[in-house]
Structure 1
Amino acid sequence: MAAAQVRRALAGARRVVFLDDDPTGTQTVRDLPVLTRWSVDDVRWALRRETPGFFVLTNTRSLTPGQAAARDRDVVEACLAAAGREGVALAFASRSDSTLRGHFPLETDVIGEVIAERGGTVDAVVLAPAYVDAGRVTIGGVHWLRSAGGLLPVADSEFARDATFGYRSSRLADWAAEKSGGRIPAGEVVELTLDDLRGGTTDGLRERLAGTHGGRVVALDAAEDDDLRAAVLAILAAERGGSSFVYRIGPSFVRARVGQAAQPPVGRGTLAGLVGAGAHGLVVVGSHVALTSGQLARLAERRRFVGVELDVPAVLDDERAEEHIRGAVQRAAAALGEDLVVLSTSRNLVEGADEGSSLDIARRVSAALTRTARRVVAARRPAFVVAKGGITSSDVATGALGIRRAWARGSLLPGIVSLWEPVSGPAAGLPYVVFAGNVGDEDALADVIERLESASRPQGSGEGMVP
């Protein structure tokens, strides 16, 4: 099924707002606006770009439930106010993690509440966490991760043991029941299987969706983009008929909903126009998943760089934190004049006694990393910035670089790792790379650095990575 079919069906469709709980939802698409602030004027700017949708970076995965709910409410209210002034109809998507971490069903509940307060309804919540490019698929109602040993049920992965958002269920219906404390009975979740999506017609699927009411959850199977395109065509048809949905989705649904096909990574010519010559890059690493640690180790094997590490116990100690950060800034800024700099937190994960305290520790560490990165960039502007980790990417974008409005220009590797072009603030024109902690193989980080650095050199220079 061609993406062109979806693009034709988008004529007159609702513009979709992707409330992104970290910045990594942009990595499957290109040339869509991204907002990190959500004043009515900011949203009106995005609506005037005339794209099928746009992102609002909420960073709610790093917030407590109460804070996340308040932020989502602010964003939805601002978007509805802006849409009213622009005469645009909206659909809302809560874009979250393809490994099922995040505030669910809280975020879709809040979106529905605001819509209801404005006189609207939500007939169903579409649940589609698949991220095909990264090997996260849903088959037979069960969500899977592709690993070296084959498909692994997501509840058997390290991500299910997350200190804040852990879970026990791999079947989406059971997961929804678990995360809602039983408020969403597993038996009431509508499951659209691969057989339904591949063997049914758009009209048949539309009828099933249009017959769903009361905010019930509809879980979508997806093993490839065409599965999601089939669902999107039915969703668009049902919306034209008056149905209203909120989407809780992973990155692949984003691509299907805006009518884009999987595209090759951003070309060298585009990169050369963005990456400045005569300067070195800054990599900021906050993710602690095993894959990120492996990617850092492989980068060290493939090339020389200057590592500057923030010691987590030190930044959590109010008496030592400032002096420790000041020293890190001095080392990193000086090293940027000579080579690539990797600014990271120490690899030993520090957890609290419970979910709330673990989240508070994560926020404090991320704030220290962001503060350090901001001072480094102010002292010496790098050629590019790569942020490794979802929450880290959000905090660096807003706190270190002051990005308010940007364009997601595409990926740096097939279907993963997003390149942003900031269009406002002190980082305007500075290539910013959003790199999730849990994607790519062990060479992915080194491959991204090599692509960025080679773009700043004349073609045929023969320079490359060195041991």
Structure 2
Amino acid sequence: MHVEAEVLAAFPAEVQIPARLVAEGLDASSGTSPRVFVVLDDDPTGTQSVADLPVLTRWEVADFAWAFAHEINGRRQRAVYVLTNTRSLDPAGAAARNGAVVRNALAAAASADPALRLSFVSRSDSTLRGHYPLEPDVIAATVTEVNGETSDGVVIVPAFPDAGRVTIGGVHYMRGTGDDAGHLTPVAETEFARDASFGFANSEMAKYVEEKSKGRFPADSVIVLDLNIIRAAGPDGDPAVSAKAIADALDAATDSTPIVADIVTENDLRALALGLEEAERRGKKLLYRVGPPFVRARIGQEIRAELSGEEAFARTTPSEAGGLIIVGSHVGVTTRQLKALTEQHSAARIVEIDVEKLLAAETETGGADGYLDETVDAVVQALHGGDVIVHTSRLLIKAGDAAESLRIARTVSAAVVAVVNRTLNTFPPRFVIAKGGITSSDVAAHGLEIRHAIVRGPMLPGIVSLWEPVDGPAEGIPYVVFAGNVGDDQSLVQVTRKLSNTF
């Protein structure tokens, strides 16, 4: 464990950069060729740092056409999120889905406006879990296949300062909370590095790249934009100085060179955004592999204040039914958040999906319809009287390998989806909160049958996203996407209080 102040002491202070400076630079560079960042989000929690952007859970050409044409507050948006949910897929499935998304996005752009330029962002986990380098590899190869354009560099920015993930001196850390506040733990020393499907051994990003690429990209071939470069202008200097330093550092990038960036604050992200825009203005072709807040900074969006309960229901008439809180994630902070909610929300009914019983039913009978029927009946009955907390059992079923772990995860998620979907079609809830990345993705796309939505903003500062479904049976029901690994022990309580009429 390291003291953050001591680690930062070796580097300059941050450069103060307003979001509008980034937005103005992006508009100036775009000129008569409008530009849209297409964000392939490997679970839906990447939207938690942005506001008023379209979200797709399907990626047919027609879906992209809707997103590219959709206006919010009288203007088309600089980014669109596509919920790929590839973190729940095996490598072959993830590769196929990334390729399909890129091909359809490019086809839709060509039909909508020949001048429209797309930039692709592979959004993944701030604790380094996911299909890397597979996903940026597939995106790059597909772009080349479609239009012949090659990628010079892949910019890797996992930092998520709002949630306590920062990169300093090329090392990725998690900030401590409570008694550990002010301390940093290298991410490879956390529970996330022991993930059954996406575990890793290195916190130093260049070595992480070498590890995950199996040596294809040696650590010494990675371009590292440390804080000396990101903050080259100094606290009172011209941000253009930092932008030039960043662009100069990227001059050597070619053939998908990995580029990692130090990030500690939103100003660092904005400095990086200016530098990347300058590099692209010089002709560099870049792809991005990033954590949640990167897109906000890259498009020059202000940090949206957290939404109130009144704002969450501003475009709908709240139902008198109870709300539905779905908890699937098994990381430690989620389990603590669930405990706090069940202890404090005494009016809520608690329904557990017993994973051992579910898997046994699948094995013995080939399906779990009977068990799920009982669960749905209990949920619907309870919603007539108030909020319902549906959670999977907290005992994590261990599997022998990554493929079996994913199979179990998909089986459990399918059961959660079935419960949500049958409930929605029987007695729609007042709101839905889904806790966990795979859980919230499957609940959105299949449980609530959301195809198109607008992300309205965060329910807590910088984290926890509120979606407004704009079509399908969930239209008008506020949907909260809540990552498994964010917030403190009281965060789930705080979000539920905003939306509940019985808490």
Change (3 A) 1:187 1:110: same
Q: What is the identity, as a one-letter code, of the residue corresponding to 1:297?
A: K
**Residue 119, structure 1, aligned to residue 161, structure 2:** no
**Residue 357, structure 1, aligned to residue 390, structure 2:** no
**Residue 140, structure 1, aligned to residue 169, structure 2:** yes
Deviation sequence 1:46-68 (CA, Å, 0-9, x none):
11131111100000000000000
1:24 to 39, 45, 57: 45
Return the offset for 1:275.
Answer: 6.0
**Residue 326, structure 1, aligned to residue 326, structure 2:** no
Partner Cα distance (2:319, 2:94) in 1: 40
**Which shifted more, 126-135 or 145-154?**
145-154
Partner Cα distance (2:167, 2:245) in 1: 21
Could you say which residue in structure 1 is the equivalent of 2:358?
Answer: 315
Could you say which residue in structure 2 is the equivalent of 1:267?
Answer: 308
Partner Cα distance (1:28, 1:301) in 2: 29
Change (3 A) 1:102 1:275: farther
**Residue 302, structure 1, aligned to residue 341, structure 2:** no
Deviation sequence 1:276-315 (CA, Å, 0-9, x none):
1412100111100111110011112211211111111221
Could you say which residue in structure 2 is the equivalent of 1:458?
Answer: none
Return the offset for 1:346.
Answer: 0.6
Partner Cα distance (2:249, 2:68) in 1: 31
Q: What is the identity, as a one-letter code, of the residue corresponding to 1:283?
A: I
Partner Cα distance (2:443, 2:42) in 1: 14
Pairs within 5 Å for 1:38-437? 38-49=59-70, 50-87=76-113, 88-117=116-145, 118-148=147-177, 149=180, 150-200=183-233, 201=241, 202-273=243-314, 274=316, 276-304=318-346, 305-317=348-360, 318=362, 319=365, 321-437=368-484
Report if the CA contact (8 A) 1:275-1:384 is conserved: no
Could you say which residue in structure 2 is the equivalent of 1:10?
Answer: 26
Partner Cα distance (2:252, 2:186) in 1: 31
Report if the CA contact (8 A) 1:410-1:419 is conserved: yes
Report if the CA contact (8 A) 1:299-1:446 is conserved: yes
Q: What is the identity, as a one-letter code, of the residue corresponding to 1:196?
A: I
Report if the CA contact (8 A) 2:223-2:250 is conserved: no
Partner Cα distance (1:170, 1:275) in 2: 47
SS at match of 1:386: strand
Report if the CA contact (8 A) 1:63-1:359 is conserved: yes
Report if the CA contact (8 A) 1:333-1:380 is conserved: yes
Return the offset for 1:14.
Answer: 2.8
Q: What is the identity, as a one-letter code, of the residue corresponding to 2:104?
A: A
Report if the CA contact (8 A) 2:308-2:498 is conserved: no
Return the offset for 1:268.
Answer: 4.0
Q: What is the identity, as a one-letter code, of the residue corresponding to 2:132?
A: F
**Which shifted more, 43-52 or 74-83?**
43-52
Report if the CA contact (8 A) 2:232-2:245 is conserved: no
Structure 2 residue ranges without an equivalent (≥5): 1-16, 71-75, 234-240
Report if the CA contact (8 A) 2:465-2:480 is conserved: yes
**Which shifted more, 414-423 or 276-285?**
276-285
SS at match of 2:407: helix
Deviation sequence 1:253-273 (CA, Å, 0-9, x none):
121112112221113432232
**Which shifted more, 6-15 or 245-254?**
6-15
Q: What is the identity, as a one-letter code, of the residue corresponding to 2:121?
A: A
RMSD: 1.2
Partner Cα distance (1:266, 1:190) in 2: 38
Partner Cα distance (2:343, 2:358) in 1: 28
Q: What is the identity, as a one-letter code, of the residue corresponding to 1:279?
A: A
Partner Cα distance (1:64, 1:323) in 2: 29
Could you say which residue in structure 2 is the equivalent of 1:441?
Answer: 488
Report if the CA contact (8 A) 2:325-2:389 is conserved: yes
Partner Cα distance (1:90, 1:272) in 2: 33
**Which shifted more, 195-204 or 323-332?**
195-204
What TM-score do the two structures reach when normalised by structure 1? 0.96
**Which shifted more, 304-313 or 162-171?**
304-313
Partner Cα distance (2:104, 2:351) in 1: 40
Return the offset for 1:229.
Answer: 0.8
SS at match of 1:327: helix
Partner Cα distance (2:433, 2:298) in 1: 27
Q: What is the identity, as a one-letter code, of the residue corresponding to 2:118?
A: L
Structure 1 residue ranges without an equivalent (≥5): 455-463
SS at match of 1:232: helix
Q: What is the identity, as a one-letter code, of the residue corresponding to 1:298?
A: A
**Which shifted more, 44-53 or 202-211?**
202-211
Report if the CA contact (8 A) 2:225-2:249 is conserved: no
Report if the CA contact (8 A) 1:351-1:358 is conserved: yes
Partner Cα distance (2:378, 2:304) in 1: 39
